[in-house]
Amino acid sequence: MNPFKVIYLPVIIISILLFIGGEITFVRLFGFFEPKIPGILFEITEQDRIVKTSVLFSLTLALVPVLVALTWRLAPGISINKKIASVLIIFIFIGAAILVRHREVKMYFTRVVRPYFLAKNMVSVRYPIDPVNFVYYMLGGLCIGCIISWFLFRHK
């Protein structure tokens, strides 16, 4: 069978599905990622940019299977167990990157923004936020996970 159909066609299909899923669930998913801080209600927005945050997020999701397949391709001959382990490592790094950004946002809003609004006697505030930095952190976690996975599972 043609190697293109065996490896690349499923990767392309999965990437397209992840891109579409990212576009559909962008606001809901990032509403979940934003920290819960009493008195502050985050409103997910997108600033006027060349590439919108939702598209950047969807492209990052679509890149996951592409980079995983590329990592496997650059480290040929790895077993199925090592492939599963490499995917887990990549997801752990993406999750860790999201968690780090979540903690940064929570600390900033708890220590700086919330006291500012409380000093102005504002108990509840809607705060528009563009989660583009979450996407950058996810992309960074993806790249670091792929690099570490390649170093761990390549033939020496």
pLDDT at 4 > cutoff 80? no
Task: Tell me what pLDDT residue 34 has.
Answer: 84
Round to whole Å and give the CA distance between 57 and 60. Answer: 5
pLDDT at 2 > cutoff 60? no
- Residue 124, H or E segment: none
User: How does pLDDT run across 5-37, given as a tens digit for each residue?
Assistant: 567 888 999 999 999 999 999 888 888 888 888
- Domain ranges for the chain: 3-153
Task: Tell me what pLDDT residue 16 has.
Answer: 95
Q: What is Dmax (Cα atoms) for the chain?
A: 69
pTM summary value: 0.85
CA 54, 60, 61: angle at the middle one, nearest 5? 90
Task: Tell me what pLDDT residue 58 has.
Answer: 95
